Amino acid sequence: MTIGLGCLAISLIALLFLGMLFAVTYNLLVKRSQAVDQQWAQVQNVYQRRADLIPNLVATVSGAANFEKSTLTEITAARASVGQVKIDPNQAPNDPAKLAEFQKAQEHLSSALSRLLVVVERYPDLKATTSFRDLQAQLEGTENRITVERQKFNDAVQKYNTTVKTFPTVMMAGMFGYQAKPYFAAKEGAETPPKVQFDFGSPKPAPGKP
Protein backbone atom coordinates (compact mmCIF):
# COMPACT_ATOMS: atom_id res chain seq x y z
CA MET A 1 0.00 0.00 0.00
CA THR A 2 2.77 2.39 1.00
CA ILE A 3 4.76 1.51 -2.12
CA GLY A 4 1.71 2.14 -4.30
CA LEU A 5 1.10 5.55 -2.74
CA GLY A 6 4.76 6.40 -3.18
CA CYS A 7 4.66 5.50 -6.87
CA LEU A 8 1.47 7.53 -7.29
CA ALA A 9 3.07 10.53 -5.62
CA ILE A 10 6.13 10.24 -7.84
CA SER A 11 3.92 10.00 -10.92
CA LEU A 12 1.93 13.06 -9.90
CA ILE A 13 5.12 15.04 -9.29
CA ALA A 14 6.48 13.95 -12.68
CA LEU A 15 3.25 14.98 -14.40
CA LEU A 16 3.29 18.31 -12.59
CA PHE A 17 6.89 18.90 -13.66
CA LEU A 18 6.11 18.00 -17.27
CA GLY A 19 3.08 20.26 -17.21
CA MET A 20 5.15 23.16 -15.93
CA LEU A 21 7.83 22.48 -18.54
CA PHE A 22 5.16 22.34 -21.23
CA ALA A 23 3.67 25.68 -20.15
CA VAL A 24 7.03 27.45 -19.86
CA THR A 25 8.18 26.15 -23.25
CA TYR A 26 4.94 27.05 -25.01
CA ASN A 27 4.91 30.53 -23.47
CA LEU A 28 8.50 31.07 -24.62
CA LEU A 29 7.56 30.14 -28.19
CA VAL A 30 4.65 32.56 -28.13
CA LYS A 31 6.79 35.33 -26.65
CA ARG A 32 9.56 34.96 -29.24
CA SER A 33 7.09 34.72 -32.12
CA GLN A 34 5.27 37.86 -31.01
CA ALA A 35 8.59 39.69 -30.69
CA VAL A 36 9.29 38.94 -34.35
CA ASP A 37 5.80 40.11 -35.32
CA GLN A 38 6.24 43.34 -33.40
CA GLN A 39 9.60 44.07 -34.95
CA TRP A 40 8.29 43.31 -38.43
CA ALA A 41 5.63 45.95 -37.85
CA GLN A 42 8.41 48.42 -37.04
CA VAL A 43 10.22 47.53 -40.27
CA GLN A 44 7.05 48.15 -42.24
CA ASN A 45 6.49 51.46 -40.45
CA VAL A 46 9.87 52.91 -41.41
CA TYR A 47 9.55 51.73 -45.01
CA GLN A 48 6.09 53.28 -45.15
CA ARG A 49 7.53 56.51 -43.79
CA ARG A 50 9.96 56.59 -46.69
CA ALA A 51 7.21 55.84 -49.19
CA ASP A 52 5.15 58.70 -47.73
CA LEU A 53 8.02 61.12 -48.34
CA ILE A 54 8.34 60.24 -52.04
CA PRO A 55 5.29 62.23 -53.30
CA ASN A 56 6.56 65.40 -51.59
CA LEU A 57 10.02 64.82 -53.02
CA VAL A 58 8.63 64.32 -56.53
CA ALA A 59 6.44 67.41 -56.22
CA THR A 60 9.41 69.47 -55.07
CA VAL A 61 11.86 68.44 -57.79
CA SER A 62 9.26 68.46 -60.57
CA GLY A 63 8.99 72.20 -60.10
CA ALA A 64 12.54 72.65 -61.37
CA ALA A 65 12.78 73.77 -64.98
CA ASN A 66 13.66 71.00 -67.46
CA PHE A 67 14.02 68.37 -64.71
CA GLU A 68 14.41 64.88 -66.19
CA LYS A 69 10.89 63.50 -66.41
CA SER A 70 12.13 59.94 -66.88
CA THR A 71 13.71 60.05 -63.42
CA LEU A 72 10.45 61.16 -61.85
CA THR A 73 8.55 58.45 -63.71
CA GLU A 74 10.98 55.79 -62.50
CA ILE A 75 10.75 56.69 -58.83
CA THR A 76 6.95 56.99 -59.02
CA ALA A 77 6.74 53.53 -60.61
CA ALA A 78 9.15 52.09 -58.02
CA ARG A 79 7.02 53.45 -55.19
CA ALA A 80 3.91 51.92 -56.78
CA SER A 81 5.61 48.51 -57.05
CA VAL A 82 6.32 48.57 -53.31
CA GLY A 83 2.62 49.02 -52.60
CA GLN A 84 1.77 46.00 -54.74
CA VAL A 85 3.71 43.63 -52.47
CA LYS A 86 1.17 42.47 -49.90
CA ILE A 87 2.34 40.86 -46.66
CA ASP A 88 -0.08 40.42 -43.78
CA PRO A 89 0.73 43.32 -41.42
CA ASN A 90 -0.54 41.32 -38.45
CA GLN A 91 2.23 38.74 -38.61
CA ALA A 92 5.87 38.55 -39.56
CA PRO A 93 6.53 37.04 -42.98
CA ASN A 94 6.88 33.27 -42.88
CA ASP A 95 7.43 32.79 -46.61
CA PRO A 96 11.05 33.35 -47.75
CA ALA A 97 9.91 33.93 -51.35
CA LYS A 98 7.41 36.59 -50.26
CA LEU A 99 9.98 38.33 -48.09
CA ALA A 100 12.45 38.28 -51.00
CA GLU A 101 9.79 39.89 -53.18
CA PHE A 102 9.29 42.60 -50.57
CA GLN A 103 13.05 43.21 -50.40
CA LYS A 104 13.38 43.39 -54.16
CA ALA A 105 10.69 46.05 -54.42
CA GLN A 106 12.25 48.10 -51.63
CA GLU A 107 15.71 47.84 -53.19
CA HIS A 108 14.27 49.00 -56.52
CA LEU A 109 12.85 52.06 -54.78
CA SER A 110 16.19 52.70 -53.05
CA SER A 111 18.00 52.60 -56.40
CA ALA A 112 15.48 54.93 -58.03
CA LEU A 113 15.72 57.33 -55.09
CA SER A 114 19.52 57.33 -55.28
CA ARG A 115 19.46 58.09 -59.01
CA LEU A 116 17.00 60.93 -58.49
CA LEU A 117 19.23 62.49 -55.86
CA VAL A 118 22.21 62.22 -58.19
CA VAL A 119 20.27 64.06 -60.89
CA VAL A 120 19.36 66.77 -58.37
CA GLU A 121 23.09 67.55 -58.13
CA ARG A 122 22.75 69.28 -61.52
CA TYR A 123 20.22 71.74 -60.06
CA PRO A 124 21.98 73.90 -57.44
CA ASP A 125 19.00 76.25 -57.16
CA LEU A 126 16.74 73.32 -56.31
CA LYS A 127 19.17 71.96 -53.73
CA ALA A 128 19.26 75.33 -52.01
CA THR A 129 15.51 75.48 -51.40
CA THR A 130 14.23 75.03 -47.86
CA SER A 131 11.68 72.40 -48.88
CA PHE A 132 14.28 70.23 -50.54
CA ARG A 133 16.71 70.58 -47.64
CA ASP A 134 13.96 69.54 -45.21
CA LEU A 135 13.11 66.50 -47.33
CA GLN A 136 16.77 65.59 -47.59
CA ALA A 137 17.09 65.60 -43.79
CA GLN A 138 13.93 63.52 -43.35
CA LEU A 139 15.04 60.98 -45.93
CA GLU A 140 18.46 60.64 -44.35
CA GLY A 141 16.90 60.01 -40.95
CA THR A 142 14.43 57.52 -42.40
CA GLU A 143 17.13 55.55 -44.20
CA ASN A 144 19.08 55.28 -40.96
CA ARG A 145 15.96 54.07 -39.13
CA ILE A 146 15.38 51.45 -41.82
CA THR A 147 18.86 50.06 -41.21
CA VAL A 148 18.32 49.99 -37.44
CA GLU A 149 14.85 48.41 -37.51
CA ARG A 150 15.88 45.84 -40.11
CA GLN A 151 18.76 44.72 -37.87
CA LYS A 152 16.44 44.53 -34.86
CA PHE A 153 14.10 42.36 -36.90
CA ASN A 154 16.93 39.97 -37.76
CA ASP A 155 17.94 39.85 -34.08
CA ALA A 156 14.37 38.91 -33.11
CA VAL A 157 14.24 36.24 -35.81
CA GLN A 158 17.58 34.82 -34.66
CA LYS A 159 16.31 34.44 -31.09
CA TYR A 160 13.05 32.88 -32.29
CA ASN A 161 14.77 30.43 -34.68
CA THR A 162 17.24 29.39 -31.99
CA THR A 163 14.33 28.67 -29.64
CA VAL A 164 12.45 26.69 -32.28
CA LYS A 165 15.45 24.53 -33.15
CA THR A 166 16.77 23.73 -29.66
CA PHE A 167 15.70 21.03 -27.20
CA PRO A 168 13.14 20.74 -25.67
CA THR A 169 11.24 23.45 -27.55
CA VAL A 170 11.96 21.79 -30.90
CA MET A 171 9.51 19.00 -30.02
CA MET A 172 6.72 21.33 -29.01
CA ALA A 173 7.35 23.71 -31.92
CA GLY A 174 6.52 20.95 -34.37
CA MET A 175 3.37 20.03 -32.46
CA PHE A 176 1.98 23.57 -32.63
CA GLY A 177 3.22 24.55 -36.09
CA TYR A 178 6.01 26.89 -35.05
CA GLN A 179 8.58 26.92 -37.85
CA ALA A 180 11.77 28.87 -38.50
CA LYS A 181 11.23 32.32 -40.03
CA PRO A 182 13.29 33.88 -42.84
CA TYR A 183 15.78 36.63 -42.18
CA PHE A 184 15.64 40.06 -43.76
CA ALA A 185 18.83 39.55 -45.76
CA ALA A 186 20.06 42.78 -47.34
CA LYS A 187 22.06 42.59 -50.54
CA GLU A 188 25.80 43.14 -50.32
CA GLY A 189 26.58 46.78 -49.63
CA ALA A 190 23.04 47.62 -48.53
CA GLU A 191 24.18 48.12 -44.95
CA THR A 192 25.16 51.65 -46.06
CA PRO A 193 22.09 53.86 -46.49
CA PRO A 194 21.73 55.75 -49.79
CA LYS A 195 23.59 59.05 -49.74
CA VAL A 196 21.24 61.96 -49.20
CA GLN A 197 23.81 64.43 -47.87
CA PHE A 198 24.83 67.29 -50.11
CA ASP A 199 27.58 69.91 -49.91
CA PHE A 200 25.36 72.91 -50.40
CA GLY A 201 27.96 75.57 -49.70
CA SER A 202 31.08 74.01 -51.17
CA PRO A 203 32.55 76.15 -53.94
CA LYS A 204 33.25 74.40 -57.21
CA PRO A 205 36.78 74.61 -58.67
CA ALA A 206 37.23 77.08 -61.48
CA PRO A 207 37.45 75.64 -65.01
CA GLY A 208 40.92 74.35 -65.76
CA LYS A 209 41.87 74.08 -62.09
CA PRO A 210 41.96 70.83 -60.04
Q: Is residue 70 part of a domain?
A: yes
As for how many domains the chain has, the answer is 1
Domain for residue 25, yes or no? yes
- Judged against a pLDDT cut of 90, whether residue 167 lies above it is answered with no
pLDDT in tens, 77-113: 999 988 888 777 556 678 888 888 889 999 999 999 9
CATH of the domain at 38: 1.20.1440.20
What is the Cα 176 distance to its own chain's centre? Answer: 27
> Rounded mean pLDDT of the chain?
82
> Which structural domain range is residue 42 located in?
2-175
203 pLDDT higher than 60: no
Angle at 76 (CA atoms; ends 72, 77), nearest 5 degrees: 115
Residue 65: which pLDDT band, with cuts at 50, 70 and 90? Answer: low
State pTM to two decimals.
Answer: 0.78
* 205 belongs to a structural domain: no
Find the angle CA(175)-CA(97)-CA(177) to the nearest 5 degrees.
5
Q: Which has the closest alpha carbon to 49: 87, 79, 77?
A: 79
Q: How many CB atoms lie within 10 A of CB 10?
A: 10
Pairwise CA distance, residues 29 & 23, whole Å: 10
